[in-house]
Amino acid sequence: MPADEPWTIGRLLTWTTDFLREKGADSPRLDAEVLLAHARDCQRIDLYTVFPEQASESLLHSFRELVRRRAAGMPVAYLVGYREFFSLAFRVTPEVLIPRPESEQLVVQALDLGKQMPVGAPLRIADVGTGSGVLAVCCAKHLPQAAVTALDISPTALEIARQNAAAHQVAQQVEFLQSDLLAACSPASEFDLIVSNPPYVTSAELEQLDADVRQFEPRLALDGGEQGTAVIERLLPQAAARLRPGGWLLMEIGPSIAARTQQLVSQTKELQSLSTLADISGLPRVLQAQRQERPS
């Protein structure tokens, strides 16, 4: 950063926006604001009231380091340690996937289904591959009658999910289990609702993702194998076995595997394939399936 004039908050934002744009950032102004607000320990909107303020040396030092790491590709969410999802702030680290807005559609549908359950009855929900815990926490936060089981194969991810559950005051509603999919659940377990954002990026698509995703986000949470359904193929029969009759499976998918996942559901005993919900861009995003009722 050239120092030919004082570094005010406004000048820092302007220079950093241009710098990050040259480095290929998709949202350089937003990145600059989020990083500067983090370095200054304030809300992003507060920056607009202090444009003329001259930055201290300690602020400049902290901010320069954040900008350097962002220019090298480190996602902003990992640099500041959180990401907003469904109007809540969630702690994230490179050990968990950064929550995307597309996943909010899954939460909306889960809450709609949960609210249709009988009032006063316990509602059992499983979040398979919980990661940072966004699905589990949002379900628990907005469905007070829910008892949520959050499962992940990564103990580090589970610890982050525990911290997020505690931060949003739903820890008493959520049980955390280290598990490969639903394997750690008792065979007798029955859930009303199973939600999951499994790895669904095909091997070919994975190589085409932005460098900051490929290099910094956990591959385990992204890589769905050659056809994008390697994990889903294992999850479907496990979900069918642990859903109560009439229970629901909601799973985030990518558009490229929508047809194949529908076919896989139709081939899974006791699961009925329902319409796949579209995201805000009109792309297929939330697969819905329901456990068929047992014959009377």
Assign residue 286 the CATH number of its domain: 3.40.50.150
Residues 68 and 195 in one domain: no
Give me the pLDDT at residue 294, please: 61
Residues 221 and 115 in one domain: yes
Per the structure, how many domains does the chain have?
Answer: 2
Residues 254 and 112 in one domain: yes
Residues 223 and 135 in one domain: yes
- Work out the angle between the directed axes of helices 155-167 and 134-142 (0-180°, nearest 10): 30
Residues 13 and 118 in one domain: no
Cβ contacts of 210 within 8 Å, gap of 6 or more: 26
For 248-270, what is each residue's pLDDT tens digit?
A: 999 999 999 999 999 999 999 89
Q: What number is the average pLDDT over the span 112-117?
A: 92
Within a domain: 101? yes
CA distance 37 to 84: 15
Residues 162 and 238 in one domain: yes
Cβ contacts of 87 within 8 Å, gap of 6 or more: none
Whether residue 153 contacts residue 126, with contact meaning beta carbons closer than 8 Å, is answered with no
Which two tokens mark 60?
């400049």
Residue with tokens 């909107």: 45
Supply the DSSP symbol for 102. G
Give me the pLDDT at residue 293, please: 76
Within a domain: 83? no
Residues 35 and 130 in one domain: no
Structural domain for 53, as ranges? 9-72
Query: What separation, in Å, do the N-terminal and C-terminal C-alpha atoms of the chain show?
Result: 74
Please say if the pLDDT value at position 121 is more than 80: no
Residues 184 and 251 in one domain: yes
Residues 30 and 166 in one domain: no
Rounded to a whole number of angstroms, the CA Rg of the chain reads 21
Give me the pLDDT at residue 122, please: 85
With bands split at pLDDT 50, 70 and 90, how would you rate the model's confidence at 187?
confident
For 158-173, what is each residue's pLDDT tens digit?
A: 999 999 999 999 999 9
CA distance 247 to 193: 6
Residues 109 and 174 in one domain: yes
Q: Which of 25, 57, 72 is the last residue of a domain?
A: 72
Residues 246 and 178 in one domain: yes
Q: How many CB atoms lie within 10 A of CB 70?
A: 24
DSSP-based three-state secondary structure for 142 = helix
Cβ contacts of 24 within 8 Å, gap of 6 or more: none
CA distance 206 to 116: 38
Cβ contacts of 295 within 8 Å, gap of 6 or more: none
Within a domain: 91? no
Within a domain: 177? yes
Please say if the pLDDT value at position 276 is more than 70: yes
Within a domain: 184? yes
User: Which of 256, 207, 204, 208 has the alpha carbon at shortest distance from 232?
Assistant: 256
Which two tokens mark 65?
């380091």
Q: Which of 37, 72, 107 is the last residue of a domain?
A: 72
Please say if the pLDDT value at position 295 is more than 90: no
DSSP-based three-state secondary structure for 56 = coil
Greater model confidence, 4 or 85: 85
Supply the DSSP symbol for 129. T
Give me the pLDDT at residue 2, please: 58
What burial letters (b/e) apply to 86-113, b meaning 16+ CB within 10 Å? bebebbbbebbbbbeebbbbbbebbbeb
Give me the pLDDT at residue 186, please: 84
| 40-to-33, 55, 64, 185, 220 alpha-carbon distances in Å | 10, 9, 12, 45, 34
Within a domain: 78? no
Within a domain: 84? no
Residues 162 and 264 in one domain: yes
Within a domain: 162? yes
